[in-house]
Amino acid sequence: MLPNALKRGDTIGVIAPSSPPNVKNMQQAILFFDQLGLQIKFGKHVEKVHGYLAGTDDERLEDLHEMFADESISGIFCAGGGYGTGRIADRIDYDLIRKNPKVFWGYSDITYLHTAFRQKTGLTTFHGPMLASDIGKDNFHHASREAFDQLFEPQTIVYDQDVTALEVLAEGEASGEIVGGNLSLLVNSLGSPYELDTKGKLLFIEDIDEEPYRIDSFLSQLKNAGKLEDASGVIVGDFNNAVAKKEPSLSFQQVLDDYFSNLNKPVISGFKIGHCQPHYAIPFGTKSTLSSENKQLTINPGVK
């Protein structure tokens, strides 16, 4: 289920379904959306602070529901990540989302919502940089800005060696919908009604500030749950600061090799997608092809 493309002059909604966003950065991001020709409506509770949450579960859920129900809102963008989306997943009105498909954009802790929305409603969503986490910062990269163009008209994305250096961990070619997101959140979904379905899909993973042994444990859980076997291929995004705090330790690259080098399916790493700059935004849930021969990921449009 593809959302409609955005148009210049549309109004987008901004919500904080996870942790409290940096308000200064969030406000500085307004200029970026002005330049895109978009108006912003902030959720009523977007600046609330409830411990490590951006408001109570009721408040964050209310903002989410109101943005999908509001016919004047054409797209919904998350202010930041952190923690908290898993707490509200079982209370979301998925029928409301199914009846009001819109552009939905975010990453990190928003992974839980990407998975829940797609598997409960079929909605294609976007993994991309957020207001407080990225857009409102001084180091927001021009390539990250250009990735928003895909929201205004259907575009096929081709990510190859001309974009960033890529490394083949296992050879092959496969097609399927891209699913996944933040690795720790994917593992957190196992055993729940929102457990990630990777069967016949291209699995995308990324994370930040996780030591190699932690990444090892996450991949071990995915492997033992059959998620690596079910996937048609694996896209390894950015793993920012994946270094050991004490030795001896395996390196991040050794961990990747242990889990992926002998898979009988394409696995490619080096994609600048995740907690990084530039951060290339991609749609989840559209048909895509991963090829080791061409070192290329091709993704069908995420809007209609």
Per-residue pLDDT of 176-219, as tens digits, reads: 999 999 999 999 999 999 999 999 999 999 999 999 999 999 99
Catalytic position from the list 18, 19, 74, 108: 108
Does the bond joining 278 to the residue before it have cis omega, within 30 degrees of 0?
A: yes
206 is catalytic: yes
Amino acid in position 3: P
Q: Is 62 a catalytic residue?
A: no
The conformation of residue 214, written as its DSSP 8-state character, comes to H
Coil/strand/helix, residue 27: helix
CATH 3.40.50.10740 maps onto the chain at 11-140
Choose the catalytic residue: 45, 114, 127, 275: 275
At 86 the pLDDT is 97
The per-residue pLDDT for 177 is 98
Which residue ranges in the chain fall short of pLDDT 50?
none
Domain with CATH 3.50.30.60 in the chain: 157-299
* CATH 2.120.10.80 given to domain 11-140: no
108 catalytic residue (yes or no): yes
Integer angstrom CA distances of residue 265 from 147, 168, 174, 277: 28, 11, 7, 28
Closest CA to 297 of 283, 53, 90, 98: 283
The one catalytic residue in 206, 211, 232, 279 is: 206
Q: Contact at 8 Å (CB) between 84 and 102?
A: no
Strand partners, 126: 105, 283
pTM of the model: 0.97
* Strands annotated E in 79-146: 103-106, 125-127
pLDDT at 274: 97
Place domain 157-299 in its CATH homologous superfamily: LD-carboxypeptidase A C-terminal domain-like (3.50.30.60)
